[in-house]
Structure 1
Amino acid sequence: MTRPLTIDDLYRFEIPADPSMSPDGERVAYTLTTQDAGNDRVVRSIWEVRGEGGPARRLTRGPADTAPRWSPDGTRLAFLRAGQLHLLPADGEEAVPLTTPADCPAGAGVPVWSPDGSRIAFAAPEAHRAVSAPVVIGALGWKADGAGLTASVRTQLFVVEVASGEVAQLTHDDRHVGPPSWSPDGTQLAYPAQTTPDGAVFGPSAAHVVGVGENASGPRRVGPADGLAGPVCWFPDGFALLVVGRVSFGVGHSELLRQPLDGSAPVSLSAALDRNVMGGGGPAYPGALPQFHGDDIVFCARDRGATRLYRVGADGISASPLPARTGVSGCSVVSKAGRAAVVVCDTERFAEVVLLDLDAWADGAPARPEWLTDHMTRSLPEIALHPVAEREFRIADGTVVHGMITRADGTPPGGPLLVDVHGGPHNAWAPHSDPVHLYHQELASRGWTVLTLNVRASDGYGEAYYTAAVGAWGETDEQDVLQPVAALVDEGLVDPERIALTGYSYGGYLSCWLSARTDLFAAVVPGGVLVDLRSMAGTSEEGHLIAEHEIGDPARMAELSPLSHADAVRAPTLVLHGGADDTCPVGQAEQWFHALRTRHVPAQLVVYPGSSHLFLLDGRPSHRKDYCRRLVDWVTTHTNH
């Protein structure tokens, strides 16, 4: 007997991520995220599953164990425990620390083994700022969401000798560097780095190379200085880098770029796909590092909202044999084994590890994935998720907007509707299961229809669609919400008097904007909001990027700010916001709440102390539960006519 998912079920979630396949292709290590209700925290530990199947087993106890990486000989796992590198023998003995707070006072980064297994490279902050120390700011990029004030501390490149534990710092630039990649011969490291000290967190960047050990040499840039470089790795011949990035900095798709080491112009390998390459994989933006399988490259890109796996080679680009409506959030390729371990989610499961036959895929033969884990079946065996139906809406100007409708089977027409707007603005809703927005499932159980829309600027529909709202936030995409809602009303599917609106981050922005543009919504719940683009420009970690590249025209900042139009708001509004949000600072929520209350609009502000912008993904379980519960209570109360 099955039952619907509820908000309280989040305490039982087990979510695998970040797979790492052993060099022989026989074992897959991964990070498993669970919830500790007693201590109100997220717990992460390292697990392992065999490629031939069998039950998964836990290798470490957590509570903060992440980023497992196999040594080249398969005898050890390097991983991060509370920010320090540890080594775990493959035979199951106790893990031992490799770095200490004395070596890495602010913690180490994801470990990257050298080809011979003698060294591990990583990127990490070069120093730790004392909490009480004065913060001296002389350049942009002085804070980061989740880390707080960073001042002049920059992320640098380090190498640790596995035998001795000796740590050496390789870069000393006044700019951030990204994760490293070893050259095939182990003599150099490639990495992305900012090209200007004042580039802030989101400024121009390029691929760089630095010599290591006996081949030590100063860092040198090998990509265009005014481009954008994300994750990098080496082509097997060692003469070029594979870079996820752009040849010019700005709003647009990331591509797979072949960057010759001689500094000549990079060549796009993915342009024909016209999709955004998801190179790193991160909170709310799933993906994986591109990896080689022979002469082919396996990589992730966003298509129709979902992150999918692709292969590019001499015969062009092909999609993986993973079933439709499947999303990818991690991938580890072992070319000589012809296998990839992939973390996927579908309409029934939040995330599981599967095994993919790369050779069969390359040959065009059937290659059904083999499911290796069953965490959701084990932790939530009685749960059945409400179905999600895809739908397309044609807007008056001819634009086609892709959306998803969640309704419980048997729900009669004419009930209430919740419209949910995603963040970004260059993120997207996907047509598979969602472990974050649990209020969708609970409202559907109460007879609601939930509509999620990939409005203009969403990812997965081509670069022209991706950039369609640049310089015109709210103006360009408001009809992408209003006209689909009108279509559902005309069809009799929903009650026009019982429509609620919510959204987080950019979705919070658009929720505030729409509540000032129409009286359609009986209740509004914006979360992680931005309402004043002018103050946002100087206080957000992304403010400079938004002002310069998303809006562009300073004269438009006030015009496109919901705060400038607050006089028109009438709908009861619940504002939900993290107290330690450095992406959309809490002052944005305070301004909106003040503007509404002084105009006698029914409003409430809820601040979650210590929570960053991404707390809905990995914050305190009690905060995530409270967010979902308050949203459900607010929209049901204010639409219960």
Structure 2
Amino acid sequence: MAGTTEALPFVGHAEEGASALAYRSVMSRLSLDDLYRLAIPSDPALRPDGGAVAYTLTTADRASDENHTRIWLAAPGAEPRLLASGSAARWSPDGRLLAFLKPVDGKPQIHLLPMDGGEPRPLTSAPLGAGVPVWSPDGTRIAYAGPHGEPDPHAPVVADRLDYKADGAGLLRGVTTQLFVVPVPAGEEPGEAVRLTDGDFHAGQPAWSPDGQRLAFTAGMQPDGDLVPSAAVYAVDAAGGEPKRLTGPEVICVGAWWLGTRLVVAGLPVPVGHTRLYVLGDGGLEEVQTGLDRNVMVGHPGYPGAPPLLLGGDLVFTARDGGRTHAYAVPLDGTSPARKLVGGEVSLSGLSAAAGRIAYVATSPDSAGDVHLTDPGGGVAPGVRLAAYRLDGVELFAPRSRTFTAPDGTPVEGFLLRDETLSGPAPVLLDVHGGPHNAWAPVFDGAHLYHQVLAARGWTVLTLNPRGSDGYGEAFYTAALGAWGLADADDFLAPLDELVSEGVADAERLAVTGYSYGGYMTCWLTTRTGRFKAAIPGGSVTDLSSMAGTSDAGYFLKEWECAGEVVAQSPITHVADVATPTLILHGENDDRCPVGQAEQWFAALRERAVPVRLVRYPGASHLFILNGRPSHRFDYNERIITWLEQWVTGSPS
């Protein structure tokens, strides 16, 4: 596929902006079948000379029922072109090679693509697969964090600590994530990867020191790290040896990057709170004073953002502000507060810098993601769009922001998705985000397609960022700790009351849904009120007591999120008060919110003759609604719509 182009099932090149989009003469509204036309860009990598951007494009294939990832290249004045199948593209320091991950026999392996022509060639053949490639400063080696061990699927699983499983991976069976270095050969023959670390811990993404002699990484090596949240930054010699700890216990480190000559660290001073940026100095970690009461977003599945990077003398990072994820720059010397580089009604999900330029991927109200290039110092017009991925011929409803008032006077931001030409009270679906420290944004949501479908059918979809949500300051972020269902419930009910009083919502046609914490709140709200005609909890939490001992994050949830108050705050404790027809959707292999949570709620409602249905998705982990089988994601969306129309706007059958 090297150097080829491919017709896109969506609108591509858009350097000229929205006017370049080839819309059909007759626009239509989104349908669930558009899941198979969606293309979502991510992980931009700006070439060292700043002239082109490589990025990953993810699509869903109906025939194979798989998600496909391909690497594309975009540059000013040119149509994007397909480079290869794979993901996680990373440029060599001279820009002549592109390293990326491509599956071989089901395991991701690092490949090298020569940019002057030729086919990709494999670099690694790791038994359990390799991780994201990280080039050494001189381009002669690549480091990665990858799985290590010899798992036996038939052997007994012996655990001495709580962290013996992980959502998406299942039972770890002694497999840990360790650091490896592999030489980049001059010829065709791949080199041999050398493992640098070993032990009962998981090494984070490596970062090369400027001289190429050491690798920094984060890890939790404390014997009781499964009970006390703790992680530090370590450095290991690139030729091997014992890792040396660089940071103390005052910060829980979640990432480390050598930027220029400084080691920049992202971490939290407390288990639940804002992530901050630090620089490692002679006296330890020194916090970078951004002047923002906002959470730094370094990027995780389901959470937008990107690792920090260096642009001249500025540290560039992403942070959430009111649900939107923006890019900021702050001088490393702390001489002035952070300034916003990229803002507006967008949410950034990738960031890269080179030659004084920045490339980023941004989701907007009318796109699941576009690739942009900008030059903060001039030279490239701000916001040049290199590649756009809007659905051809589809007109999307745009979320409208408004602020509601909770009973205690606290402002709560929400977003209304509806056909603005409608008049009179409409059926309303309240959708609760997960986390609980995530946030809804006023952008097109490629995972929750039922939002657009329902809006086209006369519904109003209400998404809210209640106490506990990210983007509104740390006090707001931590306001529901130890008080799930108590501090936050009215943040949902009061906005509904406002919409009913305004004549926007029909009090007799209200429904509630949500995923993860949103599933918890869906169940909780139906224990508090009978106003909802239908409820659809997904990936839910119903019994915090059993959750503490069965989830891969259960102990953390019990001790730090719920402060040990698990019985009174469990929906199952109050299930006798539920009469709402309930559809329960859950992944069979969910280790974050185990399927037993759904089973308990299903059994309790069935025993009480409450209309209830349980749907279990085989092989699906907690994040299947984002990255699972396309058929499962389609089914999830479709079942929500069908249940709502059966119990809210139609007649029960």
Same fold? TM cut 0.5: yes
**CA offset at residue 528 of structure 1?**
0.3
The answer on 1:70 being equivalent to 2:70 is no
User: For structure 1, which segment, 313-322 or 405-414, has the greater mean C-alpha deviation from structure 2 after superposition?
Assistant: 313-322
Counterpart in the other structure of 1:384: 395
Residues 86 and 128 (structure 1), Cα distance of their counterparts in 2 relative to 1, 3 Å cut:
farther
Counterpart in the other structure of 1:346: 364
**CA offset at residue 226 of structure 1?**
5.1
Residues 201 and 330 (structure 1), Cα distance of their counterparts in 2 relative to 1, 3 Å cut:
farther
- 2:328–2:341 CA contact under 8 A, matched in 1: no
Distance 1:536 1:224 in 2: 31
**After the TM superposition, which residues 38-57 of structure 1 pair with which residues of structure 2 at under 5 Å, given as runs?**
38-50=63-75, 52-57=76-81
Give the match's secondary structure for 1:301.
Answer: strand
Counterpart in the other structure of 1:243: 265
TM-score using structure 2 length: 0.92
Counterpart in the other structure of 1:153: 175
Counterpart in the other structure of 2:10: none
**CA offset at residue 635 of structure 1?**
1.1
Give the match's secondary structure for 1:359.
Answer: coil
The answer on 1:557 being equivalent to 2:602 is no
The RMSD of aligned alpha carbons is 1.6
> Counterpart of 1:108 in structure 2: which amino acid?
A
Counterpart in the other structure of 1:544: 555
Cα distance per residue 1:481-536 (max 9 Å; x no partner): 00000000011111101000000000000000010011111100000001111111
> Counterpart of 2:304 in structure 1: which amino acid?
P
Residues 438 and 201 (structure 1), Cα distance of their counterparts in 2 relative to 1, 3 Å cut:
farther
Distance 1:42 1:74 in 2: 29
Identity of aligned residues (%): 49
> Counterpart of 2:87 in structure 1: which amino acid?
T
Q: 1:219 aligns with which of 243, 246, 253?
A: 243
Give the match's secondary structure for 1:489.
Answer: helix
**CA offset at residue 195 of structure 1?**
3.3
TM-score using structure 1 length: 0.94
Give the match's secondary structure for 1:430.
Answer: coil
Give the match's secondary structure for 1:575.
Answer: strand
Residues 298 and 323 (structure 1), Cα distance of their counterparts in 2 relative to 1, 3 Å cut:
closer
Give the match's secondary structure for 1:292.
Answer: strand
**CA offset at residue 557 of structure 1?**
1.0
Give the match's secondary structure for 1:501.
Answer: strand
> Counterpart of 2:361 in structure 1: which amino acid?
V
- 1:321–1:368 CA contact under 8 A, matched in 2: no
Give the match's secondary structure for 1:630.
Answer: helix
Distance 2:429 2:568 in 1: 27
Q: 1:174 aligns with which of 200, 203, 206?
A: 200
Counterpart in the other structure of 2:40: 15
Distance 2:611 2:217 in 1: 51
Counterpart in the other structure of 1:231: 255
The answer on 1:369 being equivalent to 2:390 is no
The answer on 1:355 being equivalent to 2:366 is no
**CA offset at residue 317 of structure 1?**
3.5
Cα distance per residue 1:304-352 (max 9 Å; x no partner): 0111100011443344443510110001101xx2111100111111101
Counterpart in the other structure of 2:144: 122
Q: 1:292 aligns with which of 306, 310, 316?
A: 310
**CA offset at residue 197 of structure 1?**
3.6
The answer on 1:624 being equivalent to 2:633 is yes
Counterpart in the other structure of 2:585: 576
Q: 1:205 aligns with which of 231, 234, 237?
A: 231
Give the match's secondary structure for 2:173.
Answer: coil
**CA offset at residue 9 of structure 1?**
0.5
- 1:87–1:95 CA contact under 8 A, matched in 2: yes
Cα distance per residue 1:69-96 (max 9 Å; x no partner): 0001111111111211111111241111
**After the TM superposition, which residues 440-519 of structure 1 pair with which residues of structure 2 at under 5 Å, given as runs?**
440-519=451-530
Distance 1:317 1:187 in 2: 33
Give the match's secondary structure for 1:594.
Answer: helix
- 2:151–2:174 CA contact under 8 A, matched in 1: no
The answer on 1:277 being equivalent to 2:296 is yes
Residues 270 and 326 (structure 1), Cα distance of their counterparts in 2 relative to 1, 3 Å cut:
farther
- 1:72–1:117 CA contact under 8 A, matched in 2: yes
**After the TM superposition, which residues 607-622 of structure 1 pair with which residues of structure 2 at under 5 Å, given as runs?**
607-622=616-631
Counterpart in the other structure of 2:346: 326
Distance 1:587 1:59 in 2: 44
**CA offset at residue 360 of structure 1?**
3.8
The answer on 1:599 being equivalent to 2:620 is no
Give the match's secondary structure for 1:589.
Answer: helix
Give the match's secondary structure for 1:567.
Answer: helix
User: For structure 1, which segment, 601-610 or 140-149, has the greater mean C-alpha deviation from structure 2 after superposition?
Assistant: 140-149
Counterpart in the other structure of 2:280: 259
- 1:308–1:319 CA contact under 8 A, matched in 2: no
Figure out how many residues of one structure are paired with residues of the other and give that number.
615
Give the match's secondary structure for 2:243.
Answer: strand
- 1:287–1:330 CA contact under 8 A, matched in 2: yes
Distance 2:289 2:436 in 1: 23
Counterpart in the other structure of 1:520: 531
Distance 2:152 2:57 in 1: 31
- 2:278–2:287 CA contact under 8 A, matched in 1: yes
**CA offset at residue 138 of structure 1?**
1.7
**CA offset at residue 202 of structure 1?**
8.7
Residues 341 and 202 (structure 1), Cα distance of their counterparts in 2 relative to 1, 3 Å cut:
farther
Distance 1:226 1:126 in 2: 30
Give the match's secondary structure for 2:306.
Answer: coil
> Counterpart of 2:112 in structure 1: which amino acid?
L
Residues 332 and 352 (structure 1), Cα distance of their counterparts in 2 relative to 1, 3 Å cut:
same
**CA offset at residue 235 of structure 1?**
3.9
Distance 1:286 1:258 in 2: 23
Distance 1:201 1:43 in 2: 38
- 1:301–1:308 CA contact under 8 A, matched in 2: yes
Give the match's secondary structure for 2:500.
Answer: helix
- 1:59–1:92 CA contact under 8 A, matched in 2: no
- 1:2–1:383 CA contact under 8 A, matched in 2: yes
Distance 2:124 2:399 in 1: 46
**CA offset at residue 3 of structure 1?**
1.1
Which consecutive unaligned segments of at least 5 residues does structure 1 have? none
Cα distance per residue 1:33-59 (max 9 Å; x no partner): 011110111000111112x23111111
Distance 2:502 2:603 in 1: 38
Cα distance per residue 1:555-607 (max 9 Å; x no partner): x2111110111000000000000111111001100010001000111000000
Distance 1:251 1:180 in 2: 25
Residues 185 and 2 (structure 1), Cα distance of their counterparts in 2 relative to 1, 3 Å cut:
same
Distance 2:586 2:89 in 1: 33
Distance 1:480 1:128 in 2: 49
**CA offset at residue 209 of structure 1?**
1.0
Distance 1:140 1:105 in 2: 26
Give the match's secondary structure for 1:605.
Answer: strand
User: For structure 1, which segment, 184-193 or 406-415, has the greater mean C-alpha deviation from structure 2 after superposition?
Assistant: 406-415
Residues 310 and 8 (structure 1), Cα distance of their counterparts in 2 relative to 1, 3 Å cut:
same
Counterpart in the other structure of 2:423: 412
- 1:345–1:351 CA contact under 8 A, matched in 2: yes
**CA offset at residue 151 of structure 1?**
3.1
Distance 1:367 1:397 in 2: 46
Distance 2:397 2:38 in 1: 17
Residues 498 and 525 (structure 1), Cα distance of their counterparts in 2 relative to 1, 3 Å cut:
same
